[in-house]
Structure formats: structure tokens, C-alpha cells
């Protein structure tokens, strides 16, 4: 069963790349006391994720923050090195926190996994976005397989 609007995020730990190398952050530390636009992608450096999803949130970061979003975060079932490199490649900088869900623990805990075995990717995260206030899901936008509409930065802006 997947997470729903009104649910508190489950406890999980993400990998993050810092100037000093890999580190970790818990869901409590990443989301407590803030309004966060979180979006999840099936894989870093994949076509839709790299051409549209992450770039959309980077481009709309100022607009999201102007509407009350304190932080923007991207998660994917990739390791911290891949997420760090992808964020750098995409110019995410300080605008988007790149949260590596290396073993898919967060994706499993929120019940939003997909089977990417047919593409050689194993278990991955579904494509979605969430608006989270102080660790509680306020909006949840899960894409249908192959779609890219409701998890976009533009759609999230329309919800604020």
C-alpha cells in the first residue's frame, strides 16, 4: 500500500554528496519544520528524468520558493555518487537536494516502487511528486507508467 495525503513520511536514510564527500541525512532531518517539494524519478541520467523532470524543478525553483516551498528534493534508487554527479551535470546546485535512495528503502517504505527489470534496472522508484509540510504529505502526484504530467514542477506550481 502506498503512502497517502495526510500520512507522515516513514523514517529512512538518504545518501547525499557534500563538499567533504558522501554523507547521510534522515527523513526527519530533511523534512522536519519545512515545506518541501519532493519528486522521485526512476533513474538518474535516464532520458525523461534528465531532459525534463530534474531540469523542470531547477528552472522553476525560484517560482516554487516564492509560493512557500522551503526546499526542493529529488530522490532516485541510485547511489550517492551517481546522484551527486547527476545533480552537478544538471546544474541542480543549491536549488535541488539530491537524495540517493541506494537500496530503495525509502521507495519501498512509501510503497512507490516499480519493476524496471525489463530495462535492466531492477526495482526502482515510480515517478511522482509530493508536497510535504513538516514531514506530512500534503499533495501526492503519482504518474501512470510511461506518463510525465502530474509529477512536473509546473503541475506542483499549480497546486500551490
Catalytic residues: 49
SS (H, E, C) 97-153: EEEECCCCHHHHHCCCEEECHHHCCCEEECCEEEEEECCEEEEEEECCCCCCCCCCH
Amino acid at each position: 500500500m502506498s503512502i497517502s495525503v495526510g500520512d507522515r513520511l516513514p523514517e529512512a536514510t538518504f545518501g547525499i554528496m557534500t563538499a567533504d564527500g558522501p554523507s547521510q541525512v534522515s527523513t526527519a532531518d530533511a523534512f522536519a519544520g519545512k515545506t518541501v517539494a519532493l519528486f522521485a524519478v526512476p533513474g538518474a541520467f535516464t532520458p525523461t528524468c534528465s531532459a525534463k523532470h530534474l531540469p523542470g524543478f531547477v528552472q522553476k525553483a525560484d517560482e516554487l520558493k516564492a509560493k512557500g516551498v522551503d526546499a526542493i528534493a529529488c530522490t532516485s534508487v541510485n547511489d550517492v555518487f551517481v546522484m551527486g554527479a547527476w545533480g552537478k551535470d544538471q546544474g541542480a546546485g543549491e536549488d535541488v537536494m539530491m537524495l540517493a535512495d541506494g537500496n530503495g528503502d525509502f521507495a519501498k517504505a512509501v510503497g512507490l516502487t516499480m519493476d524496471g527489470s525489463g530495462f535492466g534496472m531492477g526495482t526502482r522508484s515510480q515517478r511522482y511528486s509530493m508536497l510535504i509540510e513538516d514531514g506530512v504529505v500534503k499533495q501526492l502526484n503519482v504518474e501512470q507508467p510511461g506518463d510525465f504530467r502530474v509529477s512536473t514542477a509546473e503541475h506542483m506550481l499549480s497546486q500551490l
